[in-house]
């Protein structure tokens, strides 16, 4: 610019282009415990603030997600994005949340039986649902079986329940079973009898009630021809 009445003097100024705010927000994630960390490619972020057609390709570096990227056990972990840069953007990171839920386990009680007047057997169970090759050895507290039946309980069916199993990575569900307390078998060998020393005796009047399986024994040294038969023949020994 010029004017005959003025002498022009120019002074340089400064143009300041400030970096633009770019918000990088981690998306919340959830999974069921499987003994594995969440794959890197499953983490996601949302970018807010790009202008003039810019996108993630204008950013240098690579995203990392903090402790959540290596989390395995059940719990809640912050997803902490970081690692990107661009001189034109002032990056603000917003954390997300990774929730690892407990995996389900099913404890199935085994059916049991005993005769009345006998102590309860050891209650057993099977477990399904373990992941990554794990077994019951990883549980913090093992399930415990219980029943209302005592040594004095009458014959009948009594519920077997399990409870108490806990673990940070598993939630435990239960299926009950029954303890069958049966009446003691009644065994009748027959009436007293006298035979000759060289004779044999058949338990023709023998009877067993309340059992499908039995075995005959003797206080002497003779032999039964079939100690599992209902009516065996007994041959006395020298000490009978």
pTM: 0.72
Cα atoms in the Cβ-side hemisphere of radius 13 Å centred on 7? 0
52-67 pLDDT, tens digit per residue, is 999 999 999 999 999 9
Give average pLDDT by consecutive 10-residue segment, the chain, 240 residues: 84 91 98 97 97 96 96 98 97 98 98 95 98 96 97 97 97 98 88 84 86 85 90 87
71-100 pLDDT, tens digit per residue, is 999 999 999 999 999 999 999 999 999 999
């Amino acid at each position: 610019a010029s004017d005959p009445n003025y002498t022009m003097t120019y002074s340089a100024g400064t143009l300041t282009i400030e970096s633009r705010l770019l918000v990088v927000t981690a998306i919340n994630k959830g999974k069921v415990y499987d003994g594995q960390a969440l794959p890197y490619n499953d983490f996601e972020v949302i970018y807010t603030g790009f202008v003039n057609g810019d996108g993630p390709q204008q950013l240098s570096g690579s995203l990392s997600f903090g402790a959540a990227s290596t989390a395995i056990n059940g719990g809640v972990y912050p997803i902490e994005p970081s690692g990107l840069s661009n001189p034109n953007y002032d990056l603000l990171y917003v954390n997300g949340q990774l929730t690892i839920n407990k995996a389900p386990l099913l404890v199935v009680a085994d059916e049991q039986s005993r005769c009345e007047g006998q102590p309860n057997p050891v209650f057993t169970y099977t477990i399904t649902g373990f992941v990554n090759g794990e077994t019951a050895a990883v549980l913090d507290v093992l399930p415990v079986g219980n029943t209302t039946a005592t040594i004095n309980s009458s014959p009948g069916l009594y519920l077997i329940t399990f409870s108490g199993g806990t673990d940070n990575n598993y939630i435990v569900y239960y299926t009950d079973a029954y303890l069958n307390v049966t009446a003691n078998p009644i065994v009748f060998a027959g009436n007293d009898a006298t035979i000759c020393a060289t004779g044999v005796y058949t338990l023709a009047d023998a009877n067993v009630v309340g059992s499908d399986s039995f075995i005959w024994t003797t206080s002497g040294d003779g032999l039964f021809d079939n100690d599992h038969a209902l009516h065996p023949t007994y041959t006395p020994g020298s000490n009978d």
